[in-house]
Structure 1
Amino acid sequence: MKDNLKSSHKKFKKNAKNTLYKGFHNKNKTKQSQKISCLEELSNRLHLPGDILAGAPIITATGRNELCLENYKGIIEYNGNLIKVQTKSCKICIEGKQLNILYFTEDEMRITGYINAIYYQ
C-alpha cells in the first residue's frame, strides 16, 4: 500500500527546474538590449555621441607605445606586464612590457610602454 502513495515531489521538482527558471536569463538580456537601444535612440535624437550617454570606454592608441583610456571606474591590477581596468560595461586588459600609468584622473588615464594586446573581458 505504501508503494501506491509515493510522493511525486522529487519528480515535479526536477521537471519544474528545467522549465520554471528557463526564461530568466533571456529576460535580463532583452532588458539590457532594450536599455542600450533606448540610450542609442536618445543620443540620436539629441545628436550626441553614444559614448557620452552610455559611458562607453574610449581607447585611443598612439602607435604601440601610448594609450589613452577614458570612462573607466577603477584599476583592478597594475604591473609592468599587465594593466587591468574596470569600466562600466566590462574589464579592459592591456598586456605589454614596461607598462606604466603616466597619469590618471577620475575618468581618464594615459598608459605608456610597449603594448602587445588590448582585450575585453
Structure 2
Amino acid sequence: MQKRYQWKDNLLSVLEVPGDLAEKETVVTITGKNQAVIENYKSLLRYTKEEIIILTFRGKITLQGSNLEIPWYTTEEMRVSGRFFLVILEQQEAKNE
C-alpha cells in the first residue's frame, strides 16, 4: 500500500497538480464577515437567507448568518455573500483505499 501512495505522490509532484485538486479538497476563502468563495464542492444541500449547507467531497460546510445569498456559482465554485455569524466545517472520516 505504501508504494502505491508514493507513486501517486511522485506523479502529482512531477505533473505539478495542486494538492487540493488532486485530493478533492474543498478550498474556502472568507473575506471579512461578508463574503466567501467555496471551490471544489460537490453539491448544495440547503439554501436559505439564514443558512447555507454545502456538501463537499470530505464532509459539509455550514454558513450561518443573515441575508445570505449566492450571487454566482459554477459546478466547481460559488460565491456566498451576506453577514456571517458562524462557519462550521464538518469532515467525514477518510475511507481506506
Pair 1:113-2:82 in alignment: yes
SS in 2 for 1:56: coil
Count of residues paired in the alignment: 87
Shift of 1:39: 8.7
Q: Which has the higher contact order (CA 8 A, sep 6+)?
A: 2
Q: Any idea what SS the aligned residue of 1:72 has?
A: coil
User: Whose radius of gyration is greater, 1 or 2?
Assistant: 1
TM-score by length of 1: 0.63
Report 1:51-90 matches (<5 A): 51-90=20-59
Q: Look up the SS of the partner of 2:66 in the other structure.
A: strand
TM-score when normalising by structure 2: 0.77
* Cα 1:117/1:44, change in 2 over 3 Å: farther
Q: Which runs of 5+ in 2 are unaligned?
A: 91-97
Higher percent of residues as helix: 1
Task: Give identity over the alignment, percent.
Answer: 31
- Structure 2 residue identity aligned to 1:49: P
Q: As a proportion of its length, which structure holds more strand?
A: 2
Q: Secondary structure at the match of 1:102?
A: strand
Does 1:91 find its partner at 2:44? Answer: no
Cα distance in 2 for partners of 1:65, 1:56 equals 23
Is this contact kept in 2: 1:95–1:116, CA < 8 A? yes
Say whether the 8 Å CA contact 2:21–2:40 is kept in structure 1.
no
Question: Structure 1: where are the runs of 5+ without partners?
Answer: 1-30
Residue 38 of structure 1: how far off its partner (Å): 5.4
Q: Distance in 2 between matches of 1:71 and 1:92?
A: 12
Indicate if the aligned counterparts of 1:39 and 1:50 stay in contact, CA closer than 8 A. no
Cα-Cα RMSD = 2.1
